[in-house]
Amino acid sequence: MAKKVAHFRRVIKFRSYFGWVFAVVGAILFGVGAENTEMPLILINGVLFFGYGLFMVWQTKKARQRLDQGGN
Protein backbone atom coordinates (compact mmCIF):
# COMPACT_ATOMS: atom_id res chain seq x y z
CA MET A 1 0.00 0.00 0.00
CA ALA A 2 2.85 2.38 0.77
CA LYS A 3 4.14 1.91 -2.78
CA LYS A 4 0.77 2.99 -4.23
CA VAL A 5 0.66 6.05 -1.98
CA ALA A 6 4.19 7.03 -2.99
CA HIS A 7 3.27 6.66 -6.66
CA PHE A 8 0.11 8.72 -6.16
CA ARG A 9 2.13 11.45 -4.40
CA ARG A 10 4.48 11.58 -7.40
CA VAL A 11 1.52 11.81 -9.80
CA ILE A 12 0.06 14.63 -7.70
CA LYS A 13 3.38 16.50 -7.75
CA PHE A 14 3.69 16.35 -11.53
CA ARG A 15 0.02 17.24 -12.02
CA SER A 16 0.62 20.33 -9.91
CA TYR A 17 3.63 21.28 -12.07
CA PHE A 18 1.60 20.86 -15.25
CA GLY A 19 -1.21 22.89 -13.71
CA TRP A 20 1.14 25.81 -13.15
CA VAL A 21 2.48 25.44 -16.70
CA PHE A 22 -1.08 25.50 -18.08
CA ALA A 23 -1.88 28.60 -16.00
CA VAL A 24 1.20 30.45 -17.25
CA VAL A 25 0.54 29.47 -20.87
CA GLY A 26 -3.07 30.56 -20.46
CA ALA A 27 -2.02 33.94 -19.10
CA ILE A 28 0.36 34.41 -22.04
CA LEU A 29 -2.32 33.42 -24.53
CA PHE A 30 -4.77 35.78 -22.86
CA GLY A 31 -2.24 38.59 -23.15
CA VAL A 32 -1.67 37.87 -26.83
CA GLY A 33 -5.41 37.68 -27.46
CA ALA A 34 -6.05 40.93 -25.63
CA GLU A 35 -3.33 42.63 -27.66
CA ASN A 36 -4.74 41.38 -30.99
CA THR A 37 -8.48 41.92 -30.81
CA GLU A 38 -9.02 40.35 -34.25
CA MET A 39 -8.18 36.89 -32.80
CA PRO A 40 -10.84 36.20 -30.14
CA LEU A 41 -10.20 32.43 -30.10
CA ILE A 42 -6.73 33.00 -28.67
CA LEU A 43 -8.28 35.11 -25.93
CA ILE A 44 -10.84 32.39 -25.15
CA ASN A 45 -8.18 29.67 -25.18
CA GLY A 46 -6.09 31.74 -22.80
CA VAL A 47 -8.94 31.99 -20.32
CA LEU A 48 -9.68 28.26 -20.57
CA PHE A 49 -6.02 27.21 -20.19
CA PHE A 50 -5.58 29.53 -17.23
CA GLY A 51 -8.74 28.28 -15.55
CA TYR A 52 -7.94 24.62 -16.11
CA GLY A 53 -4.39 25.12 -14.85
CA LEU A 54 -5.64 26.66 -11.62
CA PHE A 55 -8.22 23.88 -11.31
CA MET A 56 -5.46 21.26 -11.60
CA VAL A 57 -3.44 22.99 -8.88
CA TRP A 58 -6.52 23.20 -6.64
CA GLN A 59 -7.20 19.48 -7.16
CA THR A 60 -3.65 18.52 -6.26
CA LYS A 61 -3.69 20.61 -3.08
CA LYS A 62 -6.95 18.99 -2.03
CA ALA A 63 -5.63 15.48 -2.78
CA ARG A 64 -2.39 16.17 -0.92
CA GLN A 65 -4.33 17.35 2.16
CA ARG A 66 -6.42 14.18 2.11
CA LEU A 67 -3.28 12.04 1.92
CA ASP A 68 -1.69 13.93 4.80
CA GLN A 69 -4.84 13.47 6.93
CA GLY A 70 -4.77 9.74 6.38
CA GLY A 71 -7.33 9.39 3.62
CA ASN A 72 -10.39 10.63 5.53
Residues 25, 52 contacting (CB under 8 angstroms):
no
Rounded to the nearest 5 degrees, what angle is found at the Cα of 50, between the Cα atoms of 46 and 55?
A: 150
Q: Give me the pLDDT at residue 28, please.
A: 96
User: How far apart are the C-alpha atoms of 5 and 53, rounded to whole Å?
Assistant: 24
Digit-by-digit pLDDT tens for the chain (72 residues) are 789 888 999 999 999 999 999 999 999 999 999 998 888 999 999 999 999 999 999 999 999 999 888 755
Quick one: which of 57, 55, 52, 50 has its CA closest to 15? 57
Q: Give me the pLDDT at residue 11, please.
A: 93
The set of residues, in sequence order, having a beta carbon less than 8 Å from that of 14 and lying 6+ positions away, is: none
Any idea where the domains of the chain sit in the sequence?
2-65
